[in-house]
Amino acid sequence: MGNCCKNNLQDESHYSISMEKMGSSIDLLSPPAINTISSSDSLVIPSISEKRIQEILVSEKDTCPCIKEEASLTNQTLENVLYKCICGSFYIWKTDIVFWHYEKFGDWNIRCDFCLSYFSKSAWKCKHCGKIMCRDCGVNEGMQACVENCINSHELLWTPNFHTYNKSGYICALCKKYRKEPSWSCKGCEYYMCFHCGTQRGLKPNRNLLICKEKKPLFHYKRSEIAFVCNKCNEVSNKNSFSCNSCDYSICTHCSESILACMVAHPGFKCRRNHDLNVMKYDGFIENNGKMCSCLKCDNICDGFGYLCRECFEGYCFKCGDEIIKAIEDFSGIKCGKGHYLFWNPSLENDNGNLCMVCWKRTFCGCFRCEDCGINVCIDDISRIN
């Protein structure tokens, strides 16, 4: 308990979502060593008597002023209901946990401290003890993550791609306005929620780059009679803006477009030299490189926009890029026939391609790999692995 208050907020994101549910306590004591067979049925939560749980919680509150302050929160709405951890602190639904894990450990594959399975997407993290709980384990404990679904109950996923493959924009399902900006979307059902409507409903992008100089998040404001000066282009305007509500920092809508396009959906989505990819026009590539660019996955000549690397003049078309990102989130930590974990490995510049052991085709855009068996599985076949 000695260093409980020192780093209470050190690793927390400035745009993480806090939710509380008093009385929903979860045992975070070290679980016993158990050999698990599959990630779906291996929930490991040792049991403790209710009396012992209450003793631990009282002890935490009496010795830690930070936790005592958190426990005094009374505004119990759906948006700020907190889910309590056994250590006395609270769980936070972190959309940026994959980026946090990658920056801290150099790995985007996260292990759940309860079911011991691997995953690579949003999850719960305790503010105090740092235990990580995957969404499936959270569901088993009655914890509701801040997510939105389309009309067919598919989860909306954040994407910097504001194009719909055949169009240069979309109609937001909530505000009914035509938008040209990143969104939360279900591409299969053609259901889109714009950035503004998503933030109003509590959604947060996987990595928020719309921040002020003090690293605080910027909020969307509609036009007003009071003009502002954009801190990027220095233009004076009274139109829509992204601004910090605690300091005089604003970004106009035009300057925010390039920033929103850089909010990559997953740190594993890289070029062959390990650079991040952004939504960009191919026109600039042709002017700078003097040649056409083809998609690293489908090998089709790209036109218009795509997921591109500014330094290497290569990348992916929107369709292939979205497929790769979704596969990384859905299938990271899946097991091969011998029970070993498969993880996503981006293609390297000097690779001769990876031979898929399912379709026996060579791919140059990366693959899922089992290091123990030495096998590769391509994006198109990873869903066939049981």
**pLDDT tens track for 103-127:** 899 999 999 999 999 999 999 999 8
How many of the other CB atoms lie within 10 Å of CB of 10?
Answer: 7
Alpha carbon distance 279, 316 (integer Å) = 10
Instruction: Report CA torsion sign: 232, 259, 132, 198.
Output: positive
Lookup: tokens for 293? 């660019």
pLDDT of 81? 62
| Contacts for 362 with CB less than 8 Å, ≥ 6 apart | 352, 353, 354, 355, 356
Alpha carbon distance 386, 381 (integer Å) = 11
pLDDT of 44? 38
pLDDT of 289? 58
Our CA dihedral for 234, 239, 240, 245, rounded to 10 degrees, sits at 60
Question: Which is more confident, 63 or 2?
Answer: 2
pLDDT at 375 over 80: yes
Note the Cα 24 to chain centre separation in Å: 25
Q: Where are the domains of the chain?
A: 17-140, 219-261, 278-319, 323-384
pLDDT at 258 over 90: no
What is residue 138's three-state secondary structure? helix
pLDDT tens-digit map of 336-373: 888 899 999 988 777 777 888 889 988 888 899 999 98
- Would you say how long the chain is, in residues? 386
pLDDT tens-digit map of 45-72: 344 444 443 443 433 333 333 333 333 2
Judged by average pLDDT, the poorest of 20-29, 96-105, 164-173, 271-280 is 20-29
Give the residue-averaged pLDDT of 154-176. 80
pLDDT of 284? 57
